[in-house]
Amino acid sequence: MVRWTSFLSHLECTACGLEHAADRLQTVCTQCGKVLFARYDLAGVRAATRPTDFATRRWDMWRYSELLPVQQPQHVVSLGEGLTPLVEVRGRDVGFERGQLLVKDEGQNPTASFKARGLSAAISRAKELGATDIALPSAGNAGSAAAAYAAAGGLRAHVAMPRDVPDLNRVETAIYGAELTLIDGLINDAGSFIRQQVQQHGWFDVSTLKEPYRQEGKKTMGIELAEQGGWGDSCLPDVIVYPTGGGTGIVGMWKAFSELEALGWIGPKRPKMVVVQAAGCAPIVRAYERGEQHAEPWPNAQTVAAGLRVPVAIGDYLILDAVRASGGTALAVSEEAIAAAQREMGNLAGIYAAPEAAATWAATCQLRQQGWLAGTEQVVLFCTGMGLKYAPPPLEEPSGQKEGAGGVWRSGGPHATSAQAV
């Protein structure tokens, strides 16, 4: 049997520092309402485990059990999440040295997005602590993943989504047997609905960063980068480009790097964390530019990248901390740039990325053109979801005539579309 030990010790508020017991269901800090972080007995982990031990373990993110919250392996609800490939892209056409532009292809996760990681962790731990019903608002992919993991674990899922989420997300929640409520509004409106329902019915709220374990699941993306890079001082990339909505992934990876450094498994060098948002909903970018610690809500949020249509993020201060402490940056890209990038990424990488993920490609090309990236550093883009889940862009017959025109699909290799993604 596989060895299994979790070194979870307690929960700690990221704002006021108050400690909470980890052995019962918790959402946010009971004192100040901010985000709770899971804390581990890292000295215990260090004494018990070497990083090379992981290589012989189970082939999903639960191989890192020491640094995950579930105490008993029978409570793990897994569909094979994590251990996604780092794909080397032909980046020379967009100004990167050979081997320096990589895509972490999270679209290969169960339910075709990285939401699988967070919800596998949250639902497993909720199940272990006795929850029977979980609820959450979702811009689309989190609802699909929650529904799938609840089904696999024998829990009931209650999901609220904006009425205009991609059709397939609705289909998925139905297939997985979740209760779905469509809301006329955005994810924060869906959130208010869920908050009220949760109180009424006693369900457990697994909204992002409002319970402590979704970020633990997403943390495994950071641990995986270290394992894929061979551990040690220079195992991490120089730059991580991340499409940011609620920020769970960026917060989770940043937390992972601190834990791994405390364990002595990586050195002090950190990737520069780059936040990418859509121009039609960029609260974190605006707060970054203004030097603020919290982001003001974004009015009339609009973008085809549903996962980035998050006007308010409870973990805004944690995202901004990670960007600033790492020497990273934050930028917004237009809808046109996202659409062009989706094609260029398909052409150059063979990956049909979700619009959120295509935004990282557009941003990376912009940063390269502006000289913020030199093309020599190693850059990892997070392809957080698969493009096939979204409404398809307009498709015209290949004509070969209209150079670079929006609706024309051609099969001519890397130069079939313009190399300028901006």
Nearest alpha-carbon partner for 182 in 161, 157, 151: 161
Give the end-to-end CA distance of the chain in Å, rounded to a whole number: 52
Q: Is 82 an interacting residue with respect to ligand PLP (CB under 6 A)?
A: no
217 is an interface residue for ligand PLP by CB under 6 A: no
How near is the Cβ of 214 to ligand PLP at its closest, in Å? 9
CB nearer to ligand PLP: pick between 69 and 107: 107
Closest residue to ligand PLP using C-beta atoms: 307
Segment lying near ligand PLP (by CB under 6 A), choices 31-39, 56-64, 75-83, 239-247: 239-247
- Rounded to the nearest whole angstrom, what is the least distance from the CB of residue 311 to ligand PLP in the complex? 13
Rounded distance between C-alpha atoms, residue 417 and residue 344, angstroms: 6
Q: Find the binder of ligand PLP among 307, 328, 346, 387 (CB under 6 A).
A: 307
Nearer of residues 136 and 239 to ligand PLP, judged by Cβ: 136
Kindly tell me the burial class for residue 205, based on how many C-beta atoms sit within 10 Å of its own C-beta (0-12, 13-18, 19 or more): buried
The stretch near ligand PLP (CB under 6 A) out of 51-59, 242-250, 279-287, 405-413 is: 242-250
Length of the chain: 422
Q: Does 207 bind ligand PLP (CB under 6 A)?
A: no
Rounded CA separation 393/320 (Å): 33
* Near ligand PLP by CB under 6 A: residue from 208, 220, 329, 347: 208
> According to the binding rule CB under 6 A, does residue 108 interact with ligand PLP?
no
Q: Is 245 in the site for ligand PLP (CB under 6 A)?
A: yes
Residue number, 237 or 245, with CB nearest to ligand PLP: 245
* Residue 78 tokens, joined: 């897994």
Question: Going residue by residue from 309 to 338, which x/- string records binding to ligand PLP, judged by CB under 6 A?
Answer: ------------------------------
Q: Between 115 and 170, name the residue whose CB sits nearer to ligand PLP.
A: 115
Both tokens assigned to 39: 């804390």
Instruction: Pick the binder of ligand PLP from 81, 227, 259, 356 (CB under 6 A).
Output: 356
Shortest separation between residue 358's beta carbon and ligand PLP, angstroms: 10
Is 51 a residue that touches ligand PLP (CB under 6 A)? Answer: no
Q: Does 378 bind ligand PLP (CB under 6 A)?
A: no
Distance CA 164, CA 233 (A): 45
Asked if residue 342 binds ligand PLP (CB under 6 A), the reply is no
**Comparison of 67 and 145: residue with beta carbon closer to ligand PLP:** 145
Beta carbon nearer to ligand PLP, 141 or 326: 141
Number of shown-chain residues binding ligand PLP (CB under 6 A):
17
State which of positions 113-172 bind ligand PLP (CB under 6 A): 113, 115, 141-142
Q: How far is the CB of 404 from ligand PLP (least distance, A)?
A: 26
Point out which span in 97-105, 178-186, 246-254, 395-403 binds ligand PLP (CB under 6 A).
246-254
Closest approach of ligand PLP to the CB of residue 267, in Å: 25
What span, in angstroms and rounded, lies between the C-alpha atoms of 150 and 144?
10
**How far is CA 296 from each of CA 190, 288, 292, rounded to the nearest angstrom?**
19, 11, 9
Q: Determine if 283 is a binding residue for ligand PLP (CB under 6 A).
A: no
Binder among 14, 108, 111, 248 for ligand PLP (CB under 6 A): 248
C-beta closer to ligand PLP: residue 45 or 305: 305
Q: Is 109 in the site for ligand PLP (CB under 6 A)?
A: no
User: What does the block give as tokens for 362?
Assistant: 């557009």
Which residues contact ligand PLP by CB under 6 A? 113, 115, 141-142, 208, 243-249, 307, 354, 356, 384-385
